[in-house]
Amino acid sequence: MPGALDGVRVLDLSRVLAGPYATMILGDLGADVIKIEAPGGSDDTRFWGPPFQNGMSAYYTAVNRNKRSMTVNLKSKEGRETIRRLAKTADVLIHNFKTGTMEQWELGYESLSRLNPRLIYCSITGFGETGPLAPLAGYDYIIQAMSGWMSINGTVDTGPLKVGVAVTDVFTGLYAAIAVEAALLAREKTGRGQKIDLALFDCAVSALVNVAANYLLSGDVPKPLGNEHPNIVPYSTYMASDGPIVIAVGNDRQFQALCSLLSDHSLGTDPRFQTNPGRVAHREELNRRLNEEIKRRTRAEWQRLLAEKGIPCGPVQTLDELFRHPQTAAREMTVTVHHPVIGPLTLVASPLKLSDTPVSYRLPPPLAGEHNDEASWMAKQTNSRKQR
């Protein structure tokens, strides 16, 4: 069954995480993605490890399936001409070179859109193409620091902490996929492509969501709360007798239902805890008393009891527990593809569940330049595109 983006060609000049994550999403949805690297392979994640398997890093495999690989020397006149030739028949081009680099090579939007007015051109940079920081490179760690993310993670004792995954890259990859798909829809109406200017910094600020809204409304600078929620209590990690469990009480009814399970009945009648604003104001005492209660039972016991009361909860799982969990299997959140060097390769599957145009797993993460020898492929694809 053809994917939702079947027939869309994407030139992927990006590397590391944000751009490759976006293009993998497009590839999963059926797009023909051509990954462009320098000869020998210039995506840094190819070399980020361990772990490696037969020379291929786990990091690289995470975001590069459903792509063909071509190696092109963009510093040469011939290499840049290859990109122009490909751009003439492409639908989308995504890159994450520093601001101004593509223009220096005469591969900027203005140049390529003259060759192909239908081209959707997505630039992903650390700080965008305007503003005083536009010339600077941006890495997730730096963006987490500058965007406020680190200031709200951790505790007063630990100091600022980054999130364990490069979340600003992930946010930007998701925003890039959304923007490209929106531009494809707009092109159906206008017949024209357009430029997309995406910054990791902007996407990280956008993803602050309610924490940013809290500050903009109140003027109060948020403090790190560890695993607690700035607006809701109790909404935290508690220690059961056999390990940590998250309990997320979203309203007053759920709080009273939780209290009905506790031996300390005074928690449910204490006037300080009757409403969420009161619980937020007295979070330290409430959470201390709740911890005394939660440690009396196992995580499984609490899961059963809380589920019966309709209270959201879940154990803090390690990755081995996650991938053994029957819910992970039921949702088909892993997929095994055949790789020409590794053999069977298990990857995290796409979370996108489309009934009529499902995602597909057509190509494993490619070796650098794996498709260079398909001499007739480019000409054949170019001719077929001209006939559309």
Task: Kindly list the catalytic residues.
Answer: 169
Contact, 30 vs 54, CB < 8 A? no
Are 22 and 45 a contacting pair, CB within 8 Å?
no
Provide the 8-state DSSP code for 154: E
Question: Beta 343-348 vs 334-339: how paired, if at all?
Answer: antiparallel
Give dist(CA 113, CA 92) in Å, integer: 11
**Residue 127 CB contacts under 8 Å (≥ 6 apart), including other chains:** 99, 133, 134, 136, 138, 199, 200, 201
C-alpha distances out from residue 381 to 93, 146, 192, 260, 335, Å? 16, 44, 22, 66, 29
Distance CA 386, CA 388 (A): 6
55: Cα separation from own chain's centroid: 25
- 239 sits in which H/E element: strand 235-240
> Which positions ≥6 away from 175 have C-beta within 8 Å?
198, 203, 206
- Residue carrying structure tokens 């492929």: 377
Which residues does residue 52 pair with via DSSP β-bridges, in sequence order? 57
Compute the distance between CA of residue 166 and CA of residue 143 in angstroms, rounded to an integer: 10
Residues in a beta bridge with 235: 248
Q: How far apart are CA 197 and CA 123, in angstroms?
A: 5
Tokens 């409430």 appear where? 286
DSSP one-letter string for 245-311: EEEE--SHHHHHHHHTT-S-THHHH-GGGSSHHHHHHTHHHHHHHHHHHHTTS-HHHHHHHHHHTT-
Of residues 267, 328, 255, 314, the one with CA closest to residue 293 = 267
